A = this chain, B = another copy of it.
Amino acid sequence: MTYCVGLFLEEGLVFLSDTRTNAGVDHISTFSKMQVEEVAGDRVLTILSAGNLAITQAVWSRLQEGVWLNGERHTLRNVPNLFHAAQLVGQAVRDVYAADNPALAQQGIGFDCSLLLGGQISGAPHRLFLIYATGNFIEATADTPFLQIGEIKYGKPILDRGVTFATLLPDAIKLVLISMDGTLRSNLTVGLPVDLLLYRRDTLHVALRRRIAEDDPYLLMVRANWSRALREAYQAMPRPDWPLA
């Protein structure tokens, strides 16, 4: 499995993805699930992917080669805005479905694929989308400023409680790392290292792209600090005064 999260914030966008893929518990590998298309001054587009690796890699390869949409061949380097980029990714997903699903279905394998796409293109606002295996998509808004794919449940409560559209980028980094760390701890199919990318609105270049490994001092600090804070928080909470028999 996989855990990927994207935040859509007033200040910009934050992406975090793990790198574990597994086909059974004895076939585990490390693959980045983050792809970035950056043309400084013009566009930054980030894609995170979850699902069957053969499918998500095929989607990315097709996007690199160019995808036919409305009679023309497009890549992420020439779409005019994020909505068109999401359509293009959706079309790539549908093309892979058309090419590969008959063979997958014959062997009883589902078409498992979901993607986060976020970024900004010159002259248009920054946006964040979740693209389904069916090629259609939803968009994050100020009301719901985060989207997740893969093993989303473990890390959702902290995002539900912590993330708002006004969350500042440095706090956002902490929140996605906490969300990821809880998931890593509770689910073996999500694994380190993780890939982090920060984009600041209207800058049109990547602010930070960083691979965070097991021995990363900041990750270790977040982990230790958070575990201690949780322990202290519940211990400090008053006990119920319910009478015990």
In the complex, the answer to whether A162 meets B208 with C-beta atoms within 8 Å is: no
CA of A187 to CA of B160, assembled, Å:
11
| Interface contacts beyond A157-B157, A173-B240, A225-B233: sample of 6 additional A-B pairs, CB < 8 Å, sorted by A | A153-B153, A161-B227, A161-B230, A162-B234, A170-B239, A222-B237
A84 near B: Cβ within 8 Å? no
Stretch touching chain B among A62-70, A112-120, A134-142, A178-186: A178-186
CA of A185 to CA of B156, assembled, Å:
10
Contact code string A85-105 (vs B, CB < 8 Å = 1, else 0): 000000000000000000000
For the complex formed by this chain, how many copies does it contain in all?
2
Of A157, A226, A230, A241, chain B has the most CB atoms within 10 Å of the CB of A157
A174 near B: Cβ within 8 Å? yes
CB distance from A39 to the nearest CB of B (A): 15
Stretch touching chain B among A17-25, A28-36, A199-207: A199-207
CB distance from A143 to the nearest CB of B (A): 16
